[in-house]
Amino acid sequence: MLFASSFTFAQDADSLLEFRFAEMPDDSIKVMELYKRGFDERSKNIRNAFAFAKACEASALKTKSDYLIAKANNLLGILYFKTGQLGKAENYQLKALNIWNKINNKEGIGLTLTNLGNIFNNKNQKQDAENAYLQALQIFNELNNEKQKANALNNLGILKFENDEVAIAKRYFLQAYQIGEKLNDYELKAFCLNNIGATYEEEKNWSEAWAYYDDARELRELMDNQIDLIDSYINLGSVSLKNNKIIEAKNYANQAKIRSEEQQYAEGKIACYELLKEFFLLTNKTDSAMYYQRLFYEEKLKLVEASDGDENNFIPDDVTSDKQTITQLKNKNYVLYYLIAVLSVFLLMLIYLLFRQKK
């Protein structure tokens, strides 16, 4: 299980948190404080975030307040999404959505639709994701909620980007960034800058991509946003590698590796292992490339195993060939796994060498 140790920590922390908040006269204040702490920790320390979220859920259930229970469900849905457990994330968000609809809380409906859109997008349900984002955008326009409107624009931009409509995506991201500037919202601005950087990377404009990624990194360091900072290091490493700045690429990848393993950030680990694999292929260190290829697949396997008990079990759809490899790993067929890993690395090496000779 990907986060078994984290969940154990959360149970221990729950009793400590209950003790700390025992003196509070109003249980609703306790729930909201736990929610706030858990939400703040989501971008700094996943273990701590889960600790607060589990305590928040337990306290909310005691209040029997629909609003507070929905808030707790939303927080857990966000954290399970961040750790790649999409089935659990969707279940918690659907529970929250049912409650928001029941009590007719428009803001809650919009926020949960946004979170569900993120989940649908990661599960490759693109039309469902777009419908969710558009519904959320309509709600936030009605509520004049500028920050959440910007989030919806960002998410729609991501969908367009993934559909190779890069120019349209960039327009969405720039609109969202303008809102972030008006609100002076560092987190929103960093997210937009990161996405704009991705459009320049797609256009192979390495200098502009690096500049936007680095601006996002700087804001995330100012906020001590450790989780998103990992993504910034990975993006900077990716652009550096494509721009043939090999040493810089390795340094960024190592920064991402240290932090993602400390935080147990699954998506970060997967991305930095892939980046390190590419680095060692380019530097003709096949053994090291194979090592990170193995870590890459092992981390993907953990995501699948973490979702085995979910009602909506899934295998990531981003790379079709991964499905077969992960299925083989689940059957513990390690001989075949290593053969696949070795062949993959040597095939990539052969392509790279042939390409270099043609230049």
Per-residue tokens: 304: 């699948």
Top-confidence residue, 327 or 45: 45
Q: What is the dihedral of CA 237, 239, 244, 249, to 10 degrees?
A: -10
**Cβ neighbours for 91, distance < 8 A, ≥ 6 positions apart:** 77, 310, 311, 312
CA distance linking residue 43 with residue 333, whole number of Å: 36
Share of the chain above pLDDT 90, in %: 62
CA distance linking residue 346 with residue 280, whole number of Å: 12
Per-residue confidence (pLDDT) for residue 300, from 0 to 100: 82
Mean local confidence (pLDDT), 320-324: 43
Per-residue confidence (pLDDT) for residue 17, from 0 to 100: 45
Per-residue confidence (pLDDT) for residue 280, from 0 to 100: 92
Nearest of 119, 133, 121 to residue 79 by alpha carbon = 119
Q: Could you read off the pLDDT of 10-69 as tens digits, one per residue?
A: 333 443 344 344 444 468 888 999 999 998 888 778 888 999 999 999 999 999 999 999
Per-residue confidence (pLDDT) for residue 191, from 0 to 100: 93
CA distance linking residue 224 with residue 139, whole number of Å: 31
Per-residue confidence (pLDDT) for residue 97, from 0 to 100: 96
CA distance linking residue 201 with residue 242, whole number of Å: 9
Per-residue confidence (pLDDT) for residue 229, from 0 to 100: 93
Mean local confidence (pLDDT), 192-213: 96
CA distance linking residue 351 with residue 79, whole number of Å: 39
> Does residue 146 surpass a pLDDT of 80?
yes
- Annotate the chain with three-state secondary structure: CCCHHHHHHHHHHHHHHHHHCCCCCCHHHHHHHHHHHHHHHCCCCHHHHHHHHHHHHHHHHHHCCHHHHHHHHHHHHHHHHHCCCHHHHHHHHHHHHHHHHHHCCHHHHHHHHHHHHHHHHHCCCHHHHHHHHHHHHHHHHHHCCHHHHHHHHHHHHHHHHHCCCHHHHHHHHHHHHHHHHHHCCHHHHHHHHHHHHHHHHHCCCHHHHHHHHHHHHHHHHHHCCHHHHHHHHHHHHHHHHHCCCHHHHHHHHHHHHHHHHHHCCHHHHHHHHHHHHHHHHHCCCHHHHHHHHHHHHHHHHHHHHHCCCCCCCCCCCCCHHHHHHHHHHHCCCHHHHHHHHHHHHHHHHHHHHHHHHHC
Per-residue confidence (pLDDT) for residue 149, from 0 to 100: 95
Question: In this structure, are residues 188 and 151 in contact, taking their beta carbons and an 8 Å threshold?
Answer: yes
Per-residue confidence (pLDDT) for residue 208, from 0 to 100: 96
Q: Could you read off the pLDDT of 256-299 as tens digits, one per residue?
A: 999 998 888 888 899 999 999 999 998 999 999 999 999 988 88
Per-residue tokens: 210: 């690096």
Per-residue confidence (pLDDT) for residue 311, from 0 to 100: 38
Per-residue confidence (pLDDT) for residue 263, from 0 to 100: 83
Average pLDDT of the chain, as a whole number: 82
Per-residue confidence (pLDDT) for residue 55, from 0 to 100: 92
Top-confidence residue, 311 or 282: 282
Per-residue confidence (pLDDT) for residue 351, from 0 to 100: 58
Per-residue confidence (pLDDT) for residue 307, from 0 to 100: 54
Q: Could you read off the pLDDT of 148-200 as tens digits, one per residue?
A: 999 999 999 999 999 999 999 999 999 999 999 999 999 999 999 999 999 99
Start-to-end C-alpha separation, the chain: 46
**Cβ neighbours for 123, distance < 8 A, ≥ 6 positions apart:** 86, 314, 317
Confidence of residue 313 (pLDDT cuts 50, 70, 90): very low
Share of the chain above pLDDT 70, in %: 77
